[in-house]
Amino acid sequence: MWGNTGMGSQTHARSAVNYPGRVAVLMGGQSAERAISLQSGTAVLKALQQQGVDARGVDLDARLPVTLERGQFDRAFIALHGRGGEDGQIQGLLECLGLPYTGTGVLGSALAMDKLRSKQVWQSMGLPTPDFMVLEPGFDTAQVAARLGMPVMVKPAHEGSSIGISKVNHADELASARELAIRYDDCIIAERWIGGGEYTVPVLHGKTLPLIKLETEREFYDYQAKYEDEDTRYLCPCGLDEDAEARYGQLGLKAFAALGGQGWGRVDFMLDAQGQAWLIEVNTVPGMTSHSLVPMSADRAGIHFDELVLRILETSEGRRP
pTM equals 0.87
Domains, the chain, ordered by start: 111-129+195-305 (3.30.470.20), 132-192 (3.30.1490.20)
Question: Using the 8-state DSSP alphabet, how is residue 14 labeled?
Answer: P
Q: pLDDT per residue over 292-308, tens digit each? A: 899 999 999 999 999 99
pLDDT over threshold 80, residue 86? yes
Residues whose CB is less than 8 angstroms from the CB of residue 280 and which lie 6 or more positions away in sequence, other chains included: 129, 130, 268, 269, 270
Look at residue 29 in the predicted model and tell me its pLDDT: 87
Sign of CA dihedral 112, 117, 122, 128: positive
pLDDT over threshold 80, residue 171? yes
Question: Using the 8-state DSSP alphabet, how is residue 101 labeled?
Answer: B
Indicate the pLDDT class of residue 231, thresholds 50, 70 and 90.
low
Report the range of poorest mean pLDDT among 108-117, 126-135, 264-273, 312-321.
312-321
**Which residue numbers are catalytic?**
33, 161, 227, 266, 268, 281, 283, 287
Q: Could you give the CA distance from residue 41 to residue 48 in angstroms, rounded to a whole number? A: 11
The burial of 317, by beta-carbon neighbours within 10 Å (0-12 exposed, 13-18 middle, 19 or more buried), is given as middle
